[in-house]
């Protein structure tokens, strides 16, 4: 019994490593030549982490660069909140935010300016500053 569990863990571990290797490969391949050196971390992609806490969206304001892909990772940390969804009207994005589950939103904002995001009822809100 013990060995079965151990081998299962090993299989899962290998599968996980395999998956993340695949993800890494495809991302590297999709990048145009030359951009690999300019940004060592994640290519041109901008990764922003957003949380829903008792204070609402945290941070309520963050900056991104225009014309470059954004990976917004939103995690709702509190059970009692109005913000069980995130809505970004300008991008026609509306996504449920399950408790303690990281939700990934991928988009690119081309024009500099401010883009509002909010809960489904548009009460708790924040803004993306595009520069």
33, 40, 72, 73, 90 from 102: Cα distances, Å = 31, 24, 10, 6, 22
Task: Give the span between the Cα atoms of 105 and 109, in whole angstroms.
Answer: 12
Complex with Cu ion: residue 91 or 120, whichever CB lies closer:
120
In degrees, to the nearest 5, what angle opens at C-alpha 83 toward C-alphas 113 and 96?
Answer: 90
Is residue 87 near Cu ion by the rule CB under 5 A?
no
| Window 67-86: contact mask with Cu ion (x via CB under 5 A) | ---------------x----
Complex with Cu ion: residue 31 or 82, whichever CB lies closer:
82
| Binding residue (CB under 5 A) for Cu ion from 17, 22, 66, 123 | 123
Size of the site for Cu ion (CB under 5 A): 4
Q: How many CB atoms lie within 10 A of CB 103?
A: 16
- The site for Cu ion (CB under 5 A) is made up of 82, 119, 121, 123
């Amino acid at each position: 019994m013990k060995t079965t569990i151990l081998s299962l863990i090993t299989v899962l571990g290998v599968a996980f490593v395999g998956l993340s290797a695949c993800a890494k490969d495809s991302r590297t391949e999709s990048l145009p030549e030359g951009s690999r050196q300019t940004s060592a971390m994640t290519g041109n992609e901008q990764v922003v982490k957003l949380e829903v806490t008792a204070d609402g969206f945290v941070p309520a304001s963050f900056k991104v660069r225009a014309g470059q892909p954004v990976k917004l990772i939103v995690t709702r940390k509190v059970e009692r909140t109005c913000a069980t969804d995130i809505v970004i009207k300008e991008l026609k994005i509306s996504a449920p935010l399950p408790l303690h589950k990281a939700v990934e939103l991928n988009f690119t904002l081309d024009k500099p300016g401010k883009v509002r995001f909010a809960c489904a009822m548009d009460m708790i809100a924040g803004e993306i500053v595009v520069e």
